[in-house]
Amino acid sequence: MQTLRLQSEIPLDFPAASRLADAVAASLVGGSTTCLSWYDRERDHECPAHASECHDGTCTVPGYVEYAESRGASLRVEIDDGRFVFCYIDVSEFD
């Protein structure tokens, strides 16, 4: 999975970070992207929920990233040093 790291010049909350990541993914991959997983470090929330629970601290890849990779995600957008992370798949491959 390709990783794109962004630093915001203004403070972002989760909804703003999500919109930014969606726009970047659509621009890079095409208009047919879907976010498969995400992580919000400040709230310590991930989607899908509990994806990292099976990891006992020995894994180098977070559960939300492993979830996306195993389902074909091709792009990970990290904002502000991993404060927000979003993983995308190009769904046009399934048309």
Flag whether pLDDT at 94 surpasses 80: no
Residues 40-73: pLDDT tens digits?
999 999 999 887 776 566 678 888 999 999 999 9
What the block records as the tokens of 76 is 């990970």
> What would the DSSP string read from start to end of 28-53?
HH-S-EEEEEEEETTTTEEESTTTTT
77 pLDDT tier (thresholds 50, 70, 90): very high
Residue 74 is predicted with a pLDDT of 93
Domains of the chain: 2-94 (3.30.1490.340)
Tell me the sheet residues that pair with 89.
Answer: 34
